[in-house]
């Protein structure tokens, strides 16, 4: 029988049990990496940020109180790592311009013919950073709106507004692609 997240976290906090933490990593590494890959648009950067998030989670596991889910707590750490990476760049606007330019070049080179994943990534690249982040958290990572609000620090209503706006933009972009 598999141990619950709270039990494993308590074991790690109490004894530093690396095997127990390894079980938590195994449960959530795909989710965290996928979330960060969608947010950054860069697999290598996402892997680096995920590794940093898991290291930080191991070091700070004693701060996990069990008040929310371990998944939400871990994704909050990963999201914070993402924000710190963005802040390290000269400005978030310049980083987004580079990302959008890169996605446009990829889109032109591949002419949107590489399938649904490329269509989705291209549509995501047209959203604002906040819209993209909350959509990735809720739809790619399976978080509830409340969990996304907790992770991003945004009010629940703001998260819902960003999701609705982002979905409308993505729908328009994807419908435009289908018309071509």
Q: Of 88, 105, 130, which one is at a domain's C-terminal end?
A: 88
The whole-number average pLDDT for the span 32-43 is 92
Residues 52, 123 within the same domain: no
Choosing from 34, 53, 88, the residue where a domain stops is 88
Q: For residue 56, is pLDDT > 80?
A: yes
pLDDT value for 117: 60
- Could you read off the pLDDT of 88-130 as tens digits, one per residue? 764 545 545 655 654 554 444 344 444 556 677 888 888 898 9
**Rama region for 66: left / alpha / beta (φ>0; ψ in -120 to 50; rest):** left
Same domain, 71 and 117: no
Can you give the pLDDT at residue 165?
93
Residue 32, token pair as written in the block: 């965290």
Q: Note down the domain range covering 45.
A: 1-88
Read off the tokens for 87. Answer: 């802040």
Please state which of the ranges 39-43, 51-55, 122-126 shows the lowest mean pLDDT.
122-126
| Same domain, residue pair 158 and 173 | yes
79 and 155 fall within a common domain: no
For range 25-47, the mean pLDDT: 93
Q: What is the pLDDT of residue 97?
A: 60
Number of domains in the chain: 2
Average pLDDT of the chain?
Answer: 83
Mean pLDDT, residues 54-58 taken together: 96
Residue of 101 and 51 predicted with greater confidence: 51
Q: What is the pLDDT of residue 44?
A: 92
On whether both 71 and 95 belong to a single domain, the answer is no
Do 68 and 123 fall within a single domain? no
CATH number at residue 116: 1.10.10.10
Cα gap 111→114, rounded to integer Å: 8
Label residues 37-57 b or e (16+ Cβ within 10 Å = b).
Answer: bbbbbeeeebbebbebbbeeb
Query: Rounded to a whole number, what is the distance in angstroms from the first to the last CA of the chain?
Result: 52
DSSP 95-132: HHHHHHHHHHHHHHHHTT-S-HHHHHHHHHHTS-HHHH
Taking only the tens place, the pLDDT of each residue in 67-80 is 889 999 999 999 99
For the chain, how are helix, strand and coil distributed in percent, rounded to 5? 80, 0, 20
**CA–CA separation, 70 vs 27, rounded Å?**
11
The pLDDT score that the predictor gives to residue 80 is 94
Q: Measured between alpha carbons, how far is 32 from 58 in angstroms, rounded to an integer?
A: 15
Here the CATH number for the domain that contains residue 7 is 1.10.1740.10
Residue 47 CA, chain-centre distance (Å), reads 12
User: Are residues 67 and 145 located together in one domain of the fold?
Assistant: no
Global pTM value: 0.65
Whether 111 and 53 map to the same domain: the answer is no
Q: Which residue has the higher pLDDT, 75 or 136?
A: 75
CA dist 136 and 152 (Å) reads 12
Same domain, 82 and 103: no
For the record, the structure tokens of 25 come out as: 């990593």
Whole-angstrom distance, CA of residue 40 vs CA of residue 43: 8
133 and 144 inside one domain? yes
Q: In this predicted structure, what is the pLDDT of residue 110?
A: 45
Would you state the pLDDT for residue 93? 56
pLDDT of residue 101: 54
**Whether residue 74 sits in one domain with residue 108:** no
**Whether 29 and 16 share a structural domain:** yes
Instruction: Examine the fold and report which residue of 59, 88, 117 is the final residue of a domain before the chain moves on.
Output: 88
């Amino acid at each position: 029988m598999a141990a619950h997240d709270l039990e494993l976290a308590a074991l790690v906090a109490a004894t530093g049990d690396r095997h127990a933490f390894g079980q938590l990593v195994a449960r959530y590494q795909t989710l965290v990496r996928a979330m960060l890959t969608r947010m950054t648009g860069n697999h290598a950067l996402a892997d680096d940020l995920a590794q940093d998030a898991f290291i930080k989670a191991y070091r700070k596991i004693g701060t996990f109180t069990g008040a929310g889910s371990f998944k939400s707590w871990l994704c909050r750490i990963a999201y914070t790592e993402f924000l710190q990476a963005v802040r390290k760049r000269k400005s978030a606007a310049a980083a987004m311009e580079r990302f959008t330019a890169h996605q446009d070049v990829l889109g032109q080179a591949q002419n949107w013919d590489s399938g649904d994943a490329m269509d989705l990534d291209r549509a995501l690249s047209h959203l604002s950073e906040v819209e993209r982040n909350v959509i990735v958290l809720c739809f790619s990572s399976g978080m509830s709106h409340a969990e996304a609000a907790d992770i991003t620090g945004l009010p629940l209503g703001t998260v819902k507004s960003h999701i609705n706006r982002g979905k409308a933009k993505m729908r328009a972009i994807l419908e435009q692609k289908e018309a071509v």
